Each structure stands twice: as structure tokens, then as C-alpha cells.
Amino acid sequence: MELENGSIAISGSPEHVDVKISQSVPNMRNETKTVTTSTLNVGPVLLFFPDMNNKTFEHVAIPRKMVLSSSAGSGSGTIKLVQSPSVSVSSSGVISSVIGNEIVIVYNDNETNVDRSEGEKTVATKSAGDLALVEALVDKDRKLSYRKVVSESRDKRAAYYLGNSIPNSASSIIFPIGKQGLGFNAWKTFYTNWCFLQIK
């Protein structure tokens, strides 16, 4: 992103998906199942201001932590087949918009973290339904000015899929509300509604 003063800003958030395979405890017939769990780990929202001349950078970090998991199990027969379930990364997306020399950031986070100071421990969100839509402002001095909740999720299984956002104009963005569920014996993503966001 290019600011009005000509400086450049880069925004994003680290994320990683872990897959673990384990065996269940034997049942009364001494049968076990193979269980596979996919876990999405998402870190803070980061904003970098590179200095091309000095080859250094300033940064702003907005604390957040997401640990979203999905598990699937096999049958208990001799041959145990199980597919690792997918975990949608769309809820970890970040939308950044430049207004003059300030940057508005829209992202998902646990509502509890919004009221906490930067030095306090970050609450880990373990369910997509616990994510709220949050707005943050980084001012012209490259400081985090505020964070506030824009909207809560109405469906406890759904989240704002910012990773699937579609720019409609310079200040208008469209993105879906989605959730994962089982359909035709496979995990699928269902869009339940669409949001229209106007940034002024």
C-alpha cells in the first residue's frame, strides 16, 4: 500500500496448519480408530513500514491468536481409512485501506482482546463462532490508535470470511459470512450471507 506521503506499508498475518494423526483408546471389543486433526494457528496482525534507503523497517503489531481445529475418525475395522479434514483459512484474512497517511485495518478477533492493552495476555480463539469483526486504526505517526468491534457474528458456527473479500470500489468491499459443515460425507464451506463494508 502507498500512503499519501509516498511511504509504503505491508500488512498481513502469520498462519500455519498442523496435521496430527493419533489412535483412539480401545473400545470394549479392543478396537481402535485412527483420528486425524487439522489445526489452523494464526498470529497477530502485522503492519510493516520499510525504509528503502536505510534498508530497515518500522512495524506495528496488533495482538491476536487463533487456534481452530477440525477432527475426523476412521472406522474400527482392520483397514482404517481417514482423510485429514480441511480448516478454512478465510477467517484469518486482513483487509487494509489507506486514508491519507493513516491505515484502517479490518480483521477477525476474539472480542475479549479488543479491550485489552497491548501488554496483556492475548486470549486464544478456539471456535470460529467466537470471532468478531474488528476495526483498528494506525495513525500517521505509525502508532496503533484504537481497536473497536464493528460487528459480532450472529451464528455461533460462522465467521466473517475476510480472506474471500472482493473489492467493489476504492472504499467498498464485499465479503461472505461462512461456516464449515459436513455435506455429502465431506467437510464443506457454506456461505450464509454477504457483507458490504464501506470505508470512509
DSSP 112-181: HHHTS-TTSPPPEE--GGGEEEEEEEE-TTS-EEEEEEEE--SSTT-EE-GGG-EE-SSSEEEEEEEEEE
What percent of the chain lies above the pLDDT cut of 90? Answer: 40
Phi, psi dihedral angles at 43 (to 5 degrees): -100, -160
Question: Average pLDDT for residues 40-64, to the nearest whole number?
Answer: 91
| Whole-number Å distance between alpha carbons of 74 and 129 | 27
Is the CA virtual torsion 134, 194, 130, 65 positive or negative? Answer: negative
Cβ-proximal residues to 28 (8 Å cutoff; 6+ apart), any chain: none
Share the mean pLDDT of the chain. 85
Give residue 81's pLDDT: 74
What's the pLDDT score for residue 155? 62
Nearest to 19 by CA among 92, 85, 91: 85
The C-alpha atoms of residue 91 and residue 18 are separated, in whole angstroms, by 17
Least confident of 12-16, 46-50, 83-87, 111-115: 83-87
Q: Which amino acid does the sequence have at 23?
A: Q
Collapsed DSSP state (helix, strand, coil) of residue 39: strand
- The model carries a pTM of 0.83
Strand partners, 72: 36
Q: Which of 128-132, 158-162, 181-185, 190-194 has the lowest mean pLDDT?
A: 181-185
* CA nearest neighbour of 163 among 179, 176, 172, 154: 176
Q: How large is the average pLDDT for residues 122-132?
A: 89
Q: Which residues pair with 148 in a beta bridge?
A: 135
Say yes or no to pLDDT of 74 above 80. no
Which CA distances in Å does 131 have to 14, 88, 127?
17, 14, 7
* pLDDT higher than threshold 90 for residue 101: yes
